[in-house]
């Protein structure tokens, strides 16, 4: 690879090495280091040192020029950086230095192109062979079978060469059979070559974008100027270091977590990992990497007031340097449009497809349409269809078509369409009385891209009528840096800017990391997080007799846990992947671990109906609940049993709870998972132990009220 200038007066090239990267919510800040010795320049004795210029190489072309920052972390004293500017240079790559995938793809494309060329030639041969037919010789007055002159007898008929015609037909048939067999084999080779080319192209698109894929390209370099101060010291003999920072857009990350839980106790660890994807045009090899949830670029400009005085409306000032295009620009091209244009030449005949009929042969559907006759709509045609017009000469000027009446068979629908189209140019109808007045026309406002004068292009006469003679944004050459990286997020992943809220965080990786520029998600470990784990079992016997294992995860650190996917591992075995919401410091989240087969619960109820009060005017419904829990594990467990009692909205209907054994309790704080009337038991079960629970309630319904619907026993 040749990337150096041959001019001896050019600044010396210092190669840079990527040292650290900080990945933000969208984009990254890269820091490169360059080491070298400042060049010595001849100067008059006693004069101060002259400025030195350096050329830093090895930078990606996707960097933002406005984000360049340079510094001298280790001196020398008395020297400062006064200019940092990006330039583009040509990059020439030898064919043998291109990636192997690029070479294989080029070979596959060439092989496919050769097969397509063979296919076209074979199709031409098939078409030419299919057109072979016997041509009778021209007739002369003395040939047999020709009509005789008046007063003479007819000549005898000449015998047709049937044997020669049959021989020609057999030859054409045999030749077409051989050619079609070759075409079928060639078509299979072409399909395999196309598949191979598509596979290689897909692999090359997924490969790292840091390696060059074309022999000629562009590379980014930075020109840096070092200027001495008045009290600058002489140049040091030892090498100095230059730090360069820049911003690249095509990088993003999302947080992920891995929870390792041990069932023999309440121990466990929560690992924070970052899934990062980047396609910046450079591989991050052996770099110190950090991840931040902050925005990389957040505009902080103050808004401009449209009114000078508060309370008085004033028109908005016109944008500086822009005015409305003058009227009548379309008339400038009237003479240009009046010049007749030569018609386009007739297209060249295309080769006949393999196995297709000759060019002049009608298709079966055309034969069916001809047999059925032409279809017509509306009026009945009054005469025979017009003959086909003769083709015009290639050099004849194109003229406007001669107006004529509607063609035969185009009656009512076309006439109605013409009548509707005639109203397009009519003036608008006056508004109805009492209708609101139309809004006043607003002055035109320029689009933001119309103020970029360097990127505007004047449309010429070949442009559409509405764009000719006007300035429009030109087609901007899009590079790899202009295409935003948008890979599909992993399951349950949430962008950090969405889950972080108003507080930003930064996490540093534990070791140097390699992240290739392939646009694929890679995982980077960020360390352990302080959390508290407590296993619990939950069951709702009234709905399902199954007991579910859960894990209470409490954030005991001083940072919030950002939302993201959580991989749960129990005793070194992967269990499931779930979504972890954002947890503030001190918040708790219950994580489901599935069904616990070793913890059982049984439920039975007793329902009684009686009357009370004077003359039995009150109906009393008594419900008694009996539960039994069994623990078949070798360790103690805590089970949360959830029940629910009815809730009434009538003052006359009373619901009274019966004391439970052991007593149940209402939730301390109402949550979405606890509907009104919820009651809880927190039961500690020893290994192999059993516990019986009982509780109940009474519903007192006066005579004027009655239950409607539902099951009276539940």
Q: Which is it for the CA torsion 84, 87, 92, 93, positive or negative?
A: positive
The pairs formed by 99-108 with CB atoms below 8 angstroms and a separation of 24 or more are 99/204, 99/207, 99/211, 99/212, 99/213, 101/200, 101/203, 101/204, 101/207, 102/204, 102/213, 104/200, 105/197, 105/200, 105/201, 105/204, 108/193, 108/196, 108/197, 108/200
Where are the strands (E) in 444-559, listed by range? 456-458, 471-473, 506-508, 513-515, 522-529, 531-540, 544-555
What's 239's DSSP letter?
Answer: -
Q: Does 67 have pLDDT greater than 60?
A: yes
pLDDT band at 413 (very low <50, low <70, confident <90, very high): very low
Query: Residue 557 — pLDDT band, cuts 50, 70, 90?
Result: confident
Q: Domain check: are 77 and 226 in the same one?
A: yes
Strand partners, 531: 555
The verdict on residue 458 lying in a domain is: no
pLDDT digits (tens, 9 = 90+) for 360-369: 443 434 433 3
Mean pLDDT of 554-581: 90
Q: What is the mean pLDDT of the chain?
A: 76
**Number of continuous H segments (helices) and E segments (strands) in the chain:** 6, 27
Tokens of 30: 């890269």
CB neighbours of residue 78 within 10 Å? 14
- Dig out the tokens for 431 from the structure: 């508004």
Q: How does pLDDT run across 515-544, given as a tens digit for each residue?
A: 998 888 999 999 999 888 888 899 999 988
Co-location of 611 and 691 in the same domain: yes
pLDDT of residue 5: 45
Question: What is the structure's pLDDT at 649?
Answer: 78
Location of structure tokens 């000759």: 358
| Max avg pLDDT among 1-5, 285-289, 448-452, 464-468 | 285-289
Together in a domain, 529 and 608: no
Residue 402 lies in a domain: no
State whether 492 and 588 are in the same domain: yes
Work out the percent of the chain whose per-residue pLDDT is above 90: 25
Mean pLDDT check: name the lowest of 150-159, 246-255, 596-605. 150-159
Q: Is 309 within the bounds of a domain?
A: no
- pLDDT at position 160: 72
- Is the distance from CB of 411 to CB of 378 less than 8 angstroms? yes
Chain Cα centroid distance, residue 27: 16
Domain of 661, in residue numbers: 598-701
- On the question of pLDDT at 690 being above 60, the answer is yes
Q: How confident is the model at residue 135 (pLDDT cuts 50, 70, 90)?
A: confident
Residue identified by tokens 């103020």 is 451
pLDDT at 621: 86
Quick one: what percent of the chain has pLDDT higher than 70? 71
Q: Which of 549, 577, 593 is the last residue of a domain?
A: 593
Residues 587 and 652 placed together within one structural domain of the fold: no
Q: Where are the alpha helices (DSSP H) in 75-161?
A: 100-130
Phi then psi dihedrals of residue 527, to 5 deg: 115, 180
**Same domain flag for 611 and 550:** no
The number of domains in the chain is 3
The DSSP secondary-structure symbol of 322 reads: -
Helix H or strand E segment including 227:
strand 216-228
Q: Is 382 helix (H, G, I), strand (E, B) or coil?
A: coil
Tell me the pLDDT band of 671, cut-offs 50, 70 and 90: low
Rg, C-alpha atoms of the chain: 43
pLDDT, one tens digit per residue, over 391-410 is 333 333 343 343 444 444 44
Residue 53 confidence (pLDDT) above 80: yes
pLDDT tens track for 73-103: 887 777 888 888 888 787 777 777 677 888 8
Whether residue 608 lies inside any domain: the answer is yes
Classified as helix, coil or strand, 151 is: coil
Q: Residue 310 contacts by C-beta under 8 Å, 6 or more apart in sequence?
A: none
Res 626 pLDDT > 90: yes
Contact assessment for residue 86 and residue 68, using Cβ atoms and an 8 Å cutoff: yes
pLDDT value at position 266? Answer: 65
- Tell me if 423 is assigned to some domain: no
**pLDDT of the residue at 4:** 43
Same domain for 29 and 83? yes
CA-nearest of 46, 21, 40, 197 to 111 is 197
Q: Which two tokens stand for residue 434?
A: 């009492």
For residues 25 and 60, state if they share a domain.
yes
Residue with tokens 């939302």: 563
Please indicate, yes or no, whether residues 74 and 222 belong to a single structural domain of this protein: yes
| Burial readout 325-357 (b: 16 or more C-beta within 10 A, e: otherwise) | eeeeeeeeeeeeeeeeeeeeeeeeeebbebeee
pLDDT at residue 44 tops 60: no
Question: Among 196, 186, 190, 187, which Cα is nearest to 105's?
Answer: 196
pLDDT bin (cut points 50, 70, 90) of residue 604 is: very high
Q: Please write the tens of the pLDDT for every residue from 461-503.
A: 888 877 888 887 765 544 443 444 467 888 999 999 888 877 8
Q: How far apart are CA 33 and CA 20, in angstroms?
A: 9
Backbone phi, then psi, for 622, in 5-degree steps?
Answer: -110, 130
Is residue 115 predicted with pLDDT exceeding 90?
Answer: yes
**3-state secondary structure at position 578:** strand
Same domain, yes or no, for 566 and 500? yes
pLDDT band at 163 (very low <50, low <70, confident <90, very high): confident
pLDDT in tens, 418-441: 333 333 444 445 555 555 666 655
Whole-number pLDDT of residue 31: 94
Total-model pTM: 0.63
Q: How far is CA 442 from the centre of its chain?
A: 37
Domain edge (last residue) among 539, 561, 593: 593
Q: Residue 508's beta-bridge partner residues?
A: 290
359 lies in some domain: no
Residue 292 reports pLDDT greater than 60: yes
Compute the distance between CA of residue 437 and CA of residue 518 in angstroms, rounded to an integer.
59
Q: Is residue 413 part of a domain?
A: no
3-state secondary structure of 602: strand
The SS3 of residue 203 is helix
Reply yes or no on whether the pLDDT at 335 is more than 90. no
Residue 115 lies in a domain: no
Q: Which of 545, 562, 593 is the last residue of a domain?
A: 593
Does residue 647 share a domain with residue 575? no
Q: At what angle do helices 162-206 and 100-130 cross, to 10 degrees?
A: 160
The predicted pLDDT at position 310 comes to: 65
According to the model, what pLDDT value does residue 128 have? Answer: 92
628 and 657, same domain (yes or no): yes
Measure the CA dihedral 146/150/152/153, to 10°: 50
Is 140 strand, coil or helix?
coil
Who's near 490: CB < 8 A, 6+ residues apart? 254, 256, 275, 521, 565
Answer yes or no: is pLDDT of 412 > 50: no
b/e per residue, 548-578, with b = 16+ CB within 10 A? bbbbebbbeeebbbbbbbbbbbbeeeeeeeb
Closest CA to 682 of 658, 698, 660, 697: 660
How high is the pLDDT of residue 508? 93
């Amino acid at each position: 690879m040749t990337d150096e200038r041959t001019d001896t007066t050019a600044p010396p090239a210092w190669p840079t090495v990527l040292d650290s990267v900080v990945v933000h919510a969208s984009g990254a800040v890269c820091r490169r280091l360059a080491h070298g010795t400042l060049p010595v320049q001849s100067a008059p004795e006693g004069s101060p040192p002259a400025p030195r210029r350096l050329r830093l190489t090895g930078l990606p072309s996707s960097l933002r020029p406005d984000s360049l920052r340079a510094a001298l972390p280790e001196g020398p004293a008395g020297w400062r950086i006064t200019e940092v500017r990006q330039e583009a240079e040509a990059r020439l790559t030898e064919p043998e230095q291109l990636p192997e995938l690029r070479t294989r793809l080029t070979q596959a494309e060439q092989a496919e192109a050769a097969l397509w060329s063979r296919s076209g030639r074979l199709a031409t041969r098939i078409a030419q062979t299919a057109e072979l037919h016997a041509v009778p010789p021209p007739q002369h007055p003395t040939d047999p079978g020709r009509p005789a002159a008046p007063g003479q007898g007819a000549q005898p008929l000449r015998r047709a060469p049937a044997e020669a015609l049959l021989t020609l037909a057999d030859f054409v048939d045999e030749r077409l059979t051989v050619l079609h067999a070759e075409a079928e084999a060639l078509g299979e080779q072409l399909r395999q070559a196309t598949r191979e080319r598509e596979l290689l192209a897909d692999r090359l698109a997924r490969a790292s974008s840091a390696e060059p894929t074309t022999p000629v390209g562009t590379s980014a370099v930075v020109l840096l100027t070092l200027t001495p101060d008045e009290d600058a010291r002489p140049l040091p003999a030892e090498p100095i270091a230059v730090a360069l920072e820049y911003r690249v857009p095509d990088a993003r990350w999302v947080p992920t977590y891995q929870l390792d839980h041990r069932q023999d106790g309440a121990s466990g660890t929560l690992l924070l990992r970052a899934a990062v994807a980047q396609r910046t045009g450079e591989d991050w090899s052996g770099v110190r990497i950090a991840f931040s949830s902050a925005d990389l670029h957040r505009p902080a400009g103050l808004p401009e007031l449209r009114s000078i005085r508060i309370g008085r409306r004033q028109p908005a000032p016109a944008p500086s340097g822009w005015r409305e295009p003058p009227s009548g620009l379309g008339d400038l091209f009237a003479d240009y449009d009046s010049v007749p244009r030569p018609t386009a030449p007739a297209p060249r005949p295309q080769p006949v497809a393999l196995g297709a009929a000759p060019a002049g042969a009608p298709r079966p559907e055309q034969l069916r349409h001809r047999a059925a006759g032409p279809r017509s709509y509306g009026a009945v045609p009054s005469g025979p269809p017009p003959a086909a017009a003769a083709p015009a000469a290639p050099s004849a000027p194109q003229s406007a078509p001669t107006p004529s009446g509607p063609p035969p068979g185009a009656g009512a629908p076309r006439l109605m369409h013409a009548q509707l189209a005639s109203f397009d140019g009519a003036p608008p109808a006056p508004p109805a009385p009492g209708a609101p007045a139309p809004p006043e026309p607003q002055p035109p406002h320029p689009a933001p891209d119309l103020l970029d004068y360097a990127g505007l292009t004047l449309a010429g006469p070949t442009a559409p009528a509405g764009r000719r003679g006007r300035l429009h944004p030109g087609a901007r050459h899009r590079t790899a840096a202009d295409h935003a990286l948008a890979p599909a997020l992993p399951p349950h992943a949430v962008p950090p800017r969405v889950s972080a809220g108003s507080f930003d965080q930064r996490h540093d990786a534990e070791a140097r990391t390699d992240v290739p520029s392939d646009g694929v998600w890679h995982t980077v470990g960020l360390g352990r997080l302080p959390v508290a784990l407590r296993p619990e079992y939950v069951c709702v016997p009234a709905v399902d007799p199954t007991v579910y294992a859960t894990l209470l995860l409490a954030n005991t650190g001083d940072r919030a846990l950002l939302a993201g996917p959580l991989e749960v591992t129990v005793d070194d075995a992967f269990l499931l992947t779930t979504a972890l919401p954002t947890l503030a410091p001190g918040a708790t989240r219950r994580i489901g671990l599935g069904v616990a087969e070793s913890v059982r619960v049984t439920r039975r109820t007793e329902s009684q109906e009686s009357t009370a009060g004077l003359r039995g005017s009150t109906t009393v419904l008594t419900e008694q609940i009996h539960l039994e829990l069994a623990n078949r594990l070798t360790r103690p467990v805590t089970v949360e049993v959830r029940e629910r009692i009815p809730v009434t909205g009538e003052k006359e209907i009373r619901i009274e709870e019966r004391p439970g054994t052991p007593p149940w309790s209402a939730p301390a704080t109402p949550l979405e998972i606890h509907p009104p009337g919820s009651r809880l038991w927190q039961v500690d079960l020893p290994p192999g132990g059993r516990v019986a629970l009982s509780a109940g309630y009474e519903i007192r319904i006066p005579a004027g009220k009655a239950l409607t619907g539902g099951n009276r026993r539940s």
